[in-house]
Amino acid sequence: MRGPNRRAILRSAGGASVLASGLLAAPPILAQTKSAFAGTTINASCFQTTYFEYLKAYLPEFEQKTGIKVNFTMQAFPVYNQRTDLELSTRGSALDVCNVTFIYSGRWIGAGWLTSLDSFTKDPKLTPADWAPEDFAGGPQSAMQNAKGETFGFTWEAGAMILAAARYDLIEKQGLGLPRTFDELIKVCDAVHNKDNVAAFTADKLHHWNWIPYLMGVGGNVFKAPPENLTPTLDTPEAAQSAEWYANLLTKYGPDGILSYSDDQSMRSQMSGRANIRTQAITWMVPLAKHAESTVQKTVRYGLMPEGPKGNFPGSNSHGLGIPAGSRKKEAAWEFIKWALSKETVSMIVKNHGYPSVCRLSVINGPEFKQVLTLNGQDVASLFLEVLQLGGKTGYMKYRTVPVYPQVGDKINKAMERVATRQQAAPAAFKQAQTEALQDLQKAGIKVDL
């Protein structure tokens, strides 16, 4: 029998050394990931937002690392929701990663249109322990889970409702401070309205987001006990009283045209110094201090949402990334989510771009986030965290993630418009809203107490 000749030995030794040098050059896990997904293309989609505008700049880094090519598209908020709702409802495979929009999360998760991510996070081969799913703040993350506690998305944005006074100097001049209760809010509005041609209060027409914290503050709610009991409670005395109060706040202290304001118009009314106080998610409040076009950078101050006699219920919401049930490239999609929402990536977006609404606790508690959200000497990061914790503790935001909320919310908006324009008294308007909401719920096959 002939043994191996010299040429064969040299060839195999050379091959082995090339292989060894390759393995030594790249970390083993990365090499494995890259080879597993090389040549894979995934389609990801979200609505237009700065987080993903910033993230897109780092996509080549991810593509180089994993070999996965990402077609990332962004559309306007309503356009994205409309298209994705249709795509998910028909179990399409056009998307591998999608944004799980807060108001649709209950509908999309409840209908089984998204993939449970637990199988990915619980498999150490797919998710290293230091990725830490528990690092995502509980309040925002609860919108991404079903009743059994399964997770269908990880959050990239948390909206926490706070109060911002664009012209705090006017409030100070009257010897007052930021309002901490509903009564104080009226008192401050009375004192500063139309001083220096600035309206005391502003809001947008999305009443089903803006008004509900005020409704809850006086003991009202939208549903009896969401998500279990979705019987609407819009015809209660608390709802009528609160609606009357809120409509008065808008019409008496708001700028002209406030009832038709979009969220952007409302933000612009503060930025241009036409309106003073607003209660809204932090995303729309930070530009008052940071946007180049803001005329109130030096005078804006931030505080917690005012408290009602029954407590403080600032709105909080969240948007996450999930994998559609119809996706055929789920593991590659998970690689993308893991990277997009890793501690390192989130931290980098905060550090390099000053993004203010992240959900990873380790980042929120870090010095960079504190620095980004120290506005006019105020520690707004703490306010942000406080609101997120409030929302997570009692789960009072559950009303907003039920599948039928878009329809019920529409009835609330219309009822509030009727009250504010004096077309109907608050009890009648909200009784009508209750009847219409009940019809919608019954049409959707939801059991209600009658």
Partner 1 sequence: MVLALLALSPFLWLLLMSFKTNAEIFRFPPRLFFEATMANYGALWTSEFRNSFANSLIVSVVSTLLSLAIGVPAAYALSRWTSRGSGTITLWILASRMAPPIAFTIPYFLVYRHLELLDTLTGLIIIYLTFNLSLVIWMMRPFYDQLPRSLEEAAWIDGATLWQGFTRIILPLSGPGLAATAILCFLFAWNDFFFALILTRTEAMTAPVAVVNFMNYEGWEWGRIAAGGTMIMLPVLIFSFVVRRYLVHGLTGGALKG
User: Which C-beta is closer to partner 1: that of 228 or that of 264?
Assistant: 264
Give the contact letters, 155-194, x = binds to partner 1 (CB under 8 A), - = no: ----------------------------------------
User: Which C-beta is closer to partner 1: that of 190 or that of 264?
Assistant: 264
User: Which C-beta is closer to partner 1: that of 50 or that of 382?
Assistant: 50
Nearest distance in Å: CB 52, partner 1: 10
Give the contact letters, 117-156, x = binds to partner 1 (CB under 8 A), - = no: ----------------------------------------
Give 392's strand partners.
Answer: none
Nearest distance in Å: CB 84, partner 1: 11
User: Which C-beta is closer to partner 1: that of 33 or that of 105?
Assistant: 105
Nearest distance in Å: CB 272, partner 1: 5
Report the site for partner 1 in 359-398 (rule: CB under 8 A).
Answer: none
User: Does the footprint of partner 1 cover residue 293 (CB under 8 A)?
Assistant: yes
Residues 245, 265: Cα–Cα separation, whole Å: 23
Report the site for partner 1 in 30-89 (rule: CB under 8 A).
Answer: 47-50, 73-79, 82-83, 86
Give 73's strand partners.
Answer: 45
Residues 241, 260: Cα–Cα separation, whole Å: 22
Nearest distance in Å: CB 277, partner 1: 18
Neighbours of 298 (CB within 10 A): 10
User: Which C-beta is closer to partner 1: that of 73 or that of 435?
Assistant: 73
Among 92, 227, 395, 406, binds partner 1 (CB under 8 A): 92
Residues 63, 48: Cα–Cα separation, whole Å: 21
User: Which C-beta is closer to partner 1: that of 53 or that of 123?
Assistant: 53
Nearest distance in Å: CB 173, partner 1: 21
Give the contact letters, 261-290, x = binds to partner 1 (CB under 8 A), - = no: -x-x--xxx-xx-x--------xx--x---
Helix 28-37 with 330-340: angle, nearest 10 deg: 130
Backbone angles phi, psi at 329, to 5 degrees: -130, 55
Residues 292, 285: Cα–Cα separation, whole Å: 14
User: Which C-beta is closer to partner 1: that of 48 or that of 439?
Assistant: 48
Q: Is 374 exposed, middle or buried (0-12, 13-18, 19+ CB in 10 A)?
A: middle
Residues 62, 37: Cα–Cα separation, whole Å: 12
Nearest distance in Å: CB 431, partner 1: 30
User: Which C-beta is closer to partner 1: that of 254 or that of 287?
Assistant: 287
Task: Name the maximum alpha-carbon separation found in the chain.
Answer: 105
Nearest distance in Å: CB 179, partner 1: 25
Among candidate residues 163, 247, 161, 252, the one with its CA nearest the CA of residue 200: 252
Backbone angles phi, psi at 376, to 5 degrees: 50, 40
Nearest distance in Å: CB 49, partner 1: 4
Among 12, 17, 64, 90, binds partner 1 (CB under 8 A): 90
User: Which C-beta is closer to partner 1: that of 18 or that of 79?
Assistant: 79
Q: Which amino acid is at 450?
A: L
Six-digit token pair at 246? 């809120």
Residues 150, 134: Cα–Cα separation, whole Å: 13
Six-digit token pair at 152? 């269908």
Six-digit token pair at 306? 């005012």
Nearest distance in Å: CB 144, partner 1: 18
Among candidate residues 255, 294, 298, 263, the one with its CA nearest the CA of residue 279: 263
User: Which C-beta is closer to partner 1: that of 28 or that of 257?
Assistant: 257
Q: Which amino acid is at 422?
A: R
Alpha helices in 234-379 (DSSP H): 237-253, 263-271, 286-290, 330-340, 343-353, 361-364, 367-372
Residues binding partner 1: what is the number (CB under 8 A)? 29
Residues 439, 436: Cα–Cα separation, whole Å: 5
Q: Is 450 exposed, middle or buried (0-12, 13-18, 19+ CB in 10 A)?
A: exposed
Nearest distance in Å: CB 155, partner 1: 15
Nearest distance in Å: CB 175, partner 1: 28
User: Which C-beta is closer to partner 1: that of 157 or that of 335?
Assistant: 157
By CB under 8 A, name the binding residues for partner 1: 47-50, 73-79, 82-83, 86, 90, 92, 94, 262, 264, 267-269, 271-272, 274, 283-284, 287, 293
